[in-house]
Amino acid sequence: MAKLKTFSGFPVQNLSSDSTSVGQIYYNTTSGAFKAVKSGGPPIGSWSSGGNFPITTERAAGAGTQSAALHVAGYTPPNAYSAEAFEYNGTSWSANPNDYPFGTYGLSGTGTQTAAIFFGGRLSPGPFTTDTNTYNGSTFTEVANLNAARFYGAGAGTTTAAIYFGGNNGSLLGVNESYNGSTWTEVTDLNTTCQSQGGTGTSTAALSIGGNNPATTNHVETWDGSSWTETTARNTAVTTPAASGISTDALAIAGETTTAIAQTEAWNGTTWTEVADLATAAYSKTSVGAAPGGSTTSIAWAGTPSVTSTEEWTAAAFEVKTLTTS
């Protein structure tokens, strides 16, 4: 048996390859160095460039993951309501052969690239809509309408278990509706009426982040499947942020204070922490992240002012640090 090395007088294990056990200190016999495995996550996360988005657009809906994302509709300056759909394969965007059934913006969506649901929005030249459409990887299909027509709300969940909360139909709303795969039912409203907030999570564990109520706010609420609870506020009051993740592991991305910002904040279920900024400040971006949370991998694209960049977030679960005895 190999003799244990000592670091600062304490014996440590000899390993021929790096460990993945957070908290362990060891001697790597291959590299001839003492090493320690430290916690990773959002504090060591960073944004990198992905494939540029094909058009200039904002207030669109998205679904999927960093390597398989779906973009639907949105507002294309100066005055077009888009019906275009695009798919991302982890490297580049391509036009979907089938557009959304109508031009709209301010809609919300959730799900995966091949099983998504989109709801609400505002139509050209102006009515709010109750329309809901599912996507199966090739076609959009109209399903049950919302009870309340609105846009600028936020959604979470899947094609068979979704919620849509907040929004605007000429007035700020706190209304929350639940979808069971066939019908929408109004359930417990938000505590505070809100629009243009970030929303993410599942139909039984979701977050409503920031927005307008009517002033720009750092207000955050969590949903447990039956009620909303006010929780720790964000560090910065932001409207139109993008968001990804679940109710205990999420990112709030970019948005607008008095101007577009590039800030990212990470949520661990208890506190918000500012982490690495995006390369480009923007608001009204679209974002999705990989399960189970949003702090490991996420993607954000498009937005205002005239942003066509795609940025990819990656945060390793741990990091291996080389130690010295000096």
Does 193 fall in a domain? yes
In the 8-state DSSP scheme, what is residue 232? P
How many helices and strands (H and E) does the chain possess? 0, 31
Q: Are residues 207 and 286 in the same domain?
A: yes
Does 24 fall in a domain? yes
Q: CA-CA distance, 143 to 22, in Å (whole number)?
A: 47
Residue 259 neighbours by CB distance under 10 Å: 8
Q: Are residues 214 and 294 in the same domain?
A: yes
What is the reported pLDDT for 291? 62
Is the per-residue pLDDT at 1 higher than 60? Answer: no
Per the structure block, which two tokens stand in for 281?
Answer: 């400040």
Per the structure block, which two tokens stand in for 129?
Answer: 């809509």
Structural domains of the chain, count:
2
Q: Biggest alpha carbon distance in the chain?
A: 78
Q: CA-CA distance, 190 to 228, in Å (whole number)?
A: 6
Residue recorded with tokens 């798919």:
87
Q: Are residues 22 and 126 in the same domain?
A: no
Q: CA-CA distance, 324 to 326, in Å (whole number)?
A: 6
Q: Is residue 319 within 8 Å of 40, Cβ to Cβ?
A: yes
Is the per-residue pLDDT at 252 higher than 60? Answer: yes
Q: Are residues 10 and 93 in the same domain?
A: no
For residue 179, how many C-alpha atoms fall within 13 Å in the half-sphere facing its CB?
33
Q: Are residues 101 and 146 in the same domain?
A: yes
Report in angstroms the alpha-carbon separations of 150 from 45, 125, 157, 259.
Answer: 35, 15, 18, 25
- pLDDT, tens only, 153-197: 999 999 999 999 999 999 999 999 999 999 999 999 999 999 999
Smallest Cα–Cα separation from 7: which of 221, 321, 254? 321
Q: Is residue 180 within 8 Å of 200, Cβ to Cβ?
A: no
Does 321 fall in a domain? no
Q: CA-CA distance, 292 to 37, in Å (whole number)?
A: 23
Is the per-residue pLDDT at 290 higher than 80? Answer: no
- pLDDT, tens only, 254-286: 999 999 999 999 999 999 999 999 999 999 999
Domain that holds residue 24: 5-39
Mean pLDDT of the chain: 94
What is the reported pLDDT for 324? 82
Report in angstroms the alpha-carbon separations of 183 from 22, 51, 162, 226, 259.
Answer: 46, 37, 10, 17, 39
Q: Is residue 159 within 8 Å of 115, Cβ to Cβ?
A: yes
* CATH number of 75's domain: 2.120.10.80
What is the reported pLDDT for 3? 65
